[in-house]
Amino acid sequence: MFMNKQIDKIMELCKKYTEMTDKEIEIIYQKAHALDELATIFDCDIFIDVPLKNSTASIVIYHVLPVSKESLYEQSPVGQPAMKMNEPGVWKVSRAGGKLKGYKAFTQENVFIRQNIYAIEYQDKILGTYIMETPFHEVQKDGTEEQNDYMVMTARLNNYIDDAIYFFDSSSRLIFQNEKADSILKDSLQEEVYYNQLFGNQIPYSDLVLNDKKAFMKEIELDDKFYMMKRIILEDDKLEFAIILRDITQLKNKEAEIISKTEAIRETHHRIKNNLQTMASLLRMEKRRSENEEIKHILSDNMNRVMSIAATHDILARQLGDKVELSEVIKFIVNNMHRSYMLLNNLELSLDAEESIIVRSEIATSVSLIVNELVQNSYNHAFIGKSNGKLKVSLKKQDDTVFITVADNGIGFSIDEIKKNSLGLVIVQNYVKDKLKGTIQFNRQKKGMEVTFQFKQTLYNDV
């Protein structure tokens, strides 16, 4: 007899876990009652499962025990979910309708079984499924056993993976996809689905198969989300290839955020450079108006200092990131000095700079000011009373240490004599010590002066 408590249980589970109407639940009652009458004929565990709302799983709402055989279950699974990863055939029929025979699956007690599955339909809607289960070792009459076994094992494996995975056969027909894939493309839930229906707008199937790379990757966009699409050729007689989608939306959003911030930083450097150049222009105007040679000299020195600081901001305004090529900064300083002292055409200024020495902007700004002071000092003092002269700036690196030398063949000077009176020398020594955490050496030559300072290239990298 179809007991009232069984009716109540069906009503309770359907109301709690599904969106079925009272009429649809009544249809399920009728189907359950019919199974009671047929139990002797089928003589196996028979179930009715209905899809859970907002889920790929179904829930067991009715169980008929075998009449003469032992049940496959120690306890009835009524009220327990039938997960897609364990019962892919149930998931397929509950979404697409029709029937499947001999599909292998795992029970709620993790027993390997075989299922015959039939859709329960009412007014063009799939309400649930009949499921007849037998032990897996019973003889399979059709030729689908190996494929079903493969599909179940693949389903169990791939539902532990965060990426969406789609398996296709040689005709590009979708054979299986994991739960993650269900949430991305709803079209994949249909009965007969082919590659072009899912991804043809991104990469046509003809282009996909003509690409002979074993692993092919491309960034695609689906429903305002970004994915890295990877195609893998499968060495299998049933499955031709797999498509793996990795959600990179968060990564793309972070990239966009970084680019936006970088552009803002570049704009800031550009404005700082413009402001510094404006200051330099004002100093230049004051220099032209002044008739006092000492004031002109002071204004010229400060103008070059401002321009040396602007050098780093000029480079940063034209590139991404907060690191610069040090040779570019020094080249800017040398060229600016050459223009400032172009009237002294009897002096030869040369640069020997090793490239690919990349440093943080903090280092570059300090170096630019130090080199400016040293070159400016040579121009102003090294060649007094001489008709010509040579001035050379060199940049070298050994291991992690950067060496910068400013040398001239002028008259030289005594460091002790000018230490108290030279603002430029104070700037140089303080910046080398405090900003670069480096050292500086003043070497008076037979002809001229050589000043070398050194520091670690990786300074500030951990900041």
- Reported as a single tens digit per residue, the pLDDT across 247-258 is 999 888 887 776
Q: Which domains does the chain have, with CATH numbers?
A: 4-148 (3.30.450.280), 161-247 (3.30.450.20), 255-456 (3.30.565.10)
Q: What are phi and psi of 205, to 5 degrees?
A: -60, -35
The pLDDT, as a whole number, for residue 164 is 87
Q: Which residue has the higher pLDDT, 4 or 431?
A: 431
The pLDDT, as a whole number, for residue 143 is 46
The predicted-structure confidence for 266-293, as pLDDT tens digits, reads as follows: 777 678 778 888 888 888 888 888 888 8
Angle between helices 326-340 and 361-377 (to 10 degrees): 30
What is the β-pairing status of strands 164-168 and 174-177? Answer: antiparallel
Cα–Cα distance measured from residue 443 to residue 74, given in angstroms and rounded to the nearest whole number: 94
Going by C-alpha positions, the residue among 145, 133, 146 that lies closest to residue 72 is 133
The pLDDT, as a whole number, for residue 452 is 95
Q: How confident is the model at residue 414 (pLDDT cuts 50, 70, 90)?
A: low
Q: What is the pTM of this model?
A: 0.46
Q: How confident is the model at residue 51 (pLDDT cuts 50, 70, 90)?
A: very high
Question: Residue 148 pLDDT more than 70?
Answer: no
CB-facing half-sphere around the CA of 458: CA atoms within 13 A: 4
Q: Contact at 8 Å (CB) between 60 and 109? A: no
Cα–Cα distance measured from residue 272 to residue 310, given in angstroms and rounded to the nearest whole number: 7
The pLDDT, as a whole number, for residue 1 is 44
Q: For the chain, what percent of residues have pLDDT higher than 90?
A: 21
Question: Residue 153 pLDDT more than 50?
Answer: no
The predicted-structure confidence for 105-125, as pLDDT tens digits, reads as follows: 899 888 889 899 999 988 888
Helix residue ranges, H only, 183-248: 195-199, 205-210
Look up residue 207 and give its amino acid: D
Question: Residue 140 pLDDT more than 70?
Answer: no
